[in-house]
Amino acid sequence: MTIQSFFPPQRTLMGPGPSDVSPRVLSALARPTIGHLDPNFVAMMDEVKELLQYALQTKNKFTMAVSAPGSAGMEACFVNLITPEDTVVVCVNGVFGMRMIENVNRIGAKLVVVEGEWGRAVDPQALEASLKENPQANFVAFVHAETSTGALSDAKALCAIAKEHDCLTIVDAVTSLGGVELRVDEWQIDAVYSGSQKCLSCVPGLSPVSFSDKAAEVIQNRGIAVQSWFLDQSLVMGYWSGEGKRSYHHTAPVNSLYALHESLVMLQNEGLENSWARHKTMHDKLSTGLAKLGLEFIVPADERLPQLNAVYIPQGIDDAKVREFLLNEFNLEIGAGLGAFAGKAWRIGLMGYAARNENVTLCLAALEEALK
């Protein structure tokens, strides 16, 4: 049998990511591929860097997109900064904090875990107590927007505590970037990573990262080689720095970077604050509607992420059947529960291009029918 071309169905993506990609971004993806050292491409990369600096609210020179998904951005931050000599405090309140632990353990560094409740923000007092107990700690890591539960942590407060204890900060902003307030320089974040497929509404597969001057210095003076050649940022920096001649490190995902450029241009044109406000407005509409359907949020109102709405599945309702119904009858994807909430919750995303009135209306109408 001859295999035919693949044409995916037209879905509305309201899960934990990837989110709906705007037609503008999809058409940017289809522009002609040029060489990744072509002067036109190099000039566009400089713009991607500048646009990322805006999106992250940073002047960090060391700002770029790792050519791989958010997990690679996470790993790039950990393997470049941390050596077996270091002590890392990881605050955990969901699945993605657990992955930070995995990174620290694989490096062989000393690990201190601040265990938080799943479905709640990280407790700043618990971090403070842990840092007092562990004065040798030199890194603090946490997830700003925990996609597994929909909890938003106070990154500003957590970083301020870390700084009082002379720690460098590593922050997961995969789901937060573009959807909620995030100010890398003002909040003293030393290493931050994100993903293209959440509130930037770009295609999956790229991970924006940014390192403060202090973090860049640590990377440059770490003494031992980074165990991952591909993720060694001191090598990649030569390609992204824009200073002097760019040298080949790996073949950049040219068309995906066109898409990222376009999504960042859209964010710049809308304005960051406007984008944060839009996510909040759509979340308010959705949560009012969900309450009318009798669905209860996992996270208390003041710790909720507007872009990821996790609600308990009502008693007697078949999780998989409902999601299948939404997909088959409405071409609508919502997310299943993850980790401790597998089978117990649904995760409804309102990310980037998907944070629109049409989507909220569709989702509420479809859920109402599914729950009849």
Nearer to ligand PLP, 63 or 175 (CB): 175
CB of 74 to ligand PLP, least distance (A): 6
- Closer residue to ligand PLP in complex, CB, 102/368: 102
Q: Which of 147, 169, 201, 307 binds ligand PLP (CB under 6 A)?
A: 147
Which range in 34-42, 65-73, 294-302, 353-361 contacts ligand PLP by CB under 6 A? 65-73
Name the token pair of 341.
């909430």
Tokens of 107: 């490096």
Pick the piece of the chain touching ligand PLP (CB under 6 A) from 66-74, 179-187, 229-237, 244-252: 66-74
Residues 6+ apart with CB under 8 A from 67: 205, 206, 250, 252, 253, 256
Show Cβ contacts of residue 288 under 8 Å, excluding neighbours closer than 6 positions: none
- The conformation of residue 173, written as its DSSP 8-state character, comes to -
Does position 306 interact with ligand PLP (CB under 6 A)? The reply is no
Q: Residue 89's beta-bridge partner residues?
A: 112, 140
The residue within the footprint of ligand PLP, chosen from 168, 174, 264, 290 (CB under 6 A), is: 174
Nearest to ligand PLP of 61, 99 (CB atom): 99
Can you read off the two tokens belonging to residue 114? 């601040």
338 vs 364, beta carbon nearer ligand PLP? 338
User: Rounded to the nearest whole angstrom, what is the least distance from the CB of residue 82 to ligand PLP in the complex?
Assistant: 17
The number of beta carbons lying within 10 Å of the beta carbon of residue 364 is 18
Residue recorded with tokens 């890591």? 141
Tokens 């995906």: give the residue.
256
- Is residue 99 part of an annotated ligand binding site? no
Tokens encoding 236: 């990649």
Name the nearest CA neighbour of 118 among 135, 103, 102, 98. Answer: 98
Q: How far is the CB of 16 from ligand PLP (least distance, A)?
A: 6
Cβ distance to ligand PLP smaller for residue 145 or 162: 145
Closest to ligand PLP by CB, 130 or 149? 149
The CB density around residue 199, as the number of other CB atoms within 10 Å, is 36
Interface pick for ligand PLP out of 19, 25, 58, 69 (rule CB under 6 A): 69
CB of 73 vs ligand PLP, minimal distance in Å: 8
Kindly tell me which of 107 and 370 has the beta carbon lying closer to ligand PLP.
107
Among 20, 75, 86, 172, the residue binding ligand PLP under the rule CB under 6 A is 172
Residue 17 interacts with ligand PLP (CB under 6 A): yes or no: yes
**Nearest-10 Cα torsion for 104, 107, 111, 115:** 20
CA dist 271 and 277 (Å) reads: 10
| Count of positions on this chain that bind ligand PLP (CB under 6 A) | 13
Count H helices, E strands: the chain?
A: 12, 13
CB of 78 to ligand PLP, least distance (A): 12
Could you say whether residue 231 binds ligand PLP (CB under 6 A)? no
The secondary structure of 251-311 as a DSSP string is ---HHHHHHHHHHHHHHHHH-HHHHHHHHHHHHHHHHHHHHHTT--BSS-GGGB-TTEEEE
Burial of 289 (0-12, 13-18, 19+ CB in 10 A): middle
Q: Which residue is nearest to ligand PLP (CB)?
A: 70
**What contacts 352, CB < 8 A, 6 or more positions away?**
19, 20, 22, 178, 179, 198, 199, 200, 201, 263
What is the x/- site pattern for ligand PLP, positions 70-109, by CB under 6 A?
xx--x---------------------x-------------
Interaction between residue 143 and ligand PLP (CB under 6 A): yes
Residue 11 near residue 331 (C-beta atoms within 8 A): yes
**61/309 with CB nearer ligand PLP:** 309
Tell whether residue 116 is a contact of ligand PLP (CB under 6 A).
no
Residues near ligand PLP (CB under 6 A): 16-17, 69-71, 74, 96, 143, 147, 172, 174-175, 195
Instruction: List, as residue ranges, the binding site.
Output: 347
